[in-house]
Amino acid sequence: MATQKHMGKGKLVKRLTAQVGSSLAHALLKKRGDMDAKGKLTAKGRKRNAMTASERAKDRATKSSGKPTKDYKYNPKTNRATLKGKK
Residue 7 predicted with pLDDT over 90? no
- State the DSSP code for 62: H
Domain that holds residue 79: 2-83
Q: Write down the pTM of the prediction.
A: 0.79
- State the DSSP code for 75: E
CB-side exposure of 2: number of CA atoms within 13 Å?
A: 8
pLDDT tens, residue by residue, 11-70: 899 989 988 989 999 999 999 999 999 999 999 999 999 999 999 999 999 999 999 999
Residue 47 CB contacts under 8 Å (≥ 6 apart), including other chains? none
Residue 85 predicted with pLDDT over 90? no
* Cα 33 to Cα 21: distance, rounded to the nearest angstrom: 18
Q: What is the dihedral of CA 73, 75, 76, 79, to 10 degrees?
A: -100
- State the DSSP code for 9: T
User: How many domains are contained in the chain?
Assistant: 1
38 to 26, 41, 53, 60, 81: CA distances (angstroms): 10, 9, 24, 26, 32
